[in-house]
Amino acid sequence: MKIFHTVSGLRDILNQDRRQGARIGFVPTMGNLHDGHLALIRQARESNDIVVCSIFVNALQFGLNEDWDRYPRTYETDCEKLREVGCDYLFYPDDVEMYPNGLDTQSRVICPTMTDVLCGASRPGHFEGVTTVVSKLFNIVQPDEAIFGIKDYQQLAVIRRMAEDLCMPVQISPAAIHREPDGLAMSSRNSYISDEERPRVTVLKQCLEWIAEQIQAGNKDFSQLEAKAKQRITEAGFGVDYVTISNSKTLDPAANDDLEITILGAMFTEAARLIDNLSVDLS
């Protein structure tokens, strides 16, 4: 695996690959890689000649009271894992390389839909930071395909919309949620969960599954289903950010005649914010 710290260095080698007809796959990450990230690399490997991974903890998508400073940074271990799964190039820039004119004057990319609800409601400015850095990374790598995990369902939807609106010539491909043996969605923030909390955090997934079963059985009282799930999470000892039954494409609250529905949830442990989702196809 070759490692690049500069935009020019990565572009030079990718231009050589393109001239030889190579198809480029891309997986953007913030590092602290787990098996879920590695599954994205493997998926990119299946349909591309060259696989690029980026590691950049993007301050622009973190709020004032969020965990940018303590977000796990495990560069050496990440490199070992990427080599093992066959990543070709790692792009590992510093803040100055990504934002040479500083964050305060950085041009921003704003998606006006789907960004002020769900995670966007509790993390103001988060998706502006995501769309800005992802658009920069797309311009740097110029991939044919980019892989994003379904666990971050809202992020995937927003990036798809951004790429469509801005006519970006990149295929946005989803990857299934990778889970721990007990069903907890893999996340870099799972390391924040205490030993005492760990057996109980699966309540989020269990609530989403219960809602899905109710909907498939014909229960369309979405408000009541959301309320009961929130109560169950609270009774398990966690704080509720949201439990929402949404239209899978627009992320608007689901209508009774919607055929593609996604149930999204977020909750707080003492030190972590966990998210999960489950989609239901009623067609």
Q: Is the pLDDT assigned to residue 176 strictly greater than 80?
A: yes
The catalytic position among 5, 34, 37, 126 is 37
67 pLDDT higher than 80? no
Write the DSSP assignment of 205-268 as a string of letters: HHHHHHHHHHHHTT---HHHHHHHHHHHHHHTT-EEEEEEEEETTT-SBPPTT-SEEEEEEEEE
Q: pLDDT tens digit string along 227-279?
A: 999 999 999 999 999 999 999 999 999 999 999 999 999 999 999 999 999 99
pLDDT value for 232: 98
Per-residue model confidence as pLDDT tens digits over 153-175:
999 999 999 999 999 999 999 99
pLDDT of res. 252: 95
pTM: 0.92
**Please, what CATH class does the domain formed by 2-175 belong to?**
alpha beta
Taking CA atoms, 260 is separated from 36, 154, 251, in Å, by 25, 15, 11
pLDDT for res 122 = 82
Give the per-residue pLDDT at 65. Answer: 64
For residue 138, give the amino acid letter.
F
Tell me the domain boundaries of the chain.
2-175, 188-278
Q: Is residue 70's pLDDT more than 90?
A: no
Tell me, yes or no, if 37 is annotated catalytic. Answer: yes
Reported as a pLDDT band with limits 50, 70 and 90, residue 72 is confident
pLDDT tens per residue across span 80-98: 999 999 999 999 999 999 9
Give how far Cα 50 sits from Cα of 17, 24, 43, 115, Å. Answer: 8, 5, 12, 32
Does pLDDT of 188 surpass 90?
Answer: no
Determine whether domain 188-278 maps to CATH 1.10.3720.10. Answer: no
pLDDT digits (tens, 9 = 90+) for 5-51: 999 999 999 999 999 999 999 999 999 999 999 999 999 999 999 99
Of the pLDDT bands very low, low, confident and very high (cuts 50, 70, 90), residue 64 is low
Q: Are strands 50-55 and 24-29 parallel, antiparallel or unpaired?
A: parallel
Q: What is the C-alpha separation between 147 and 83, in angstroms, rounded?
A: 18
Among 115-129, 206-220, 226-240, the least confident range? 115-129
pLDDT mean across residues, the chain:
95
**What does DSSP assign to residue 177?**
P
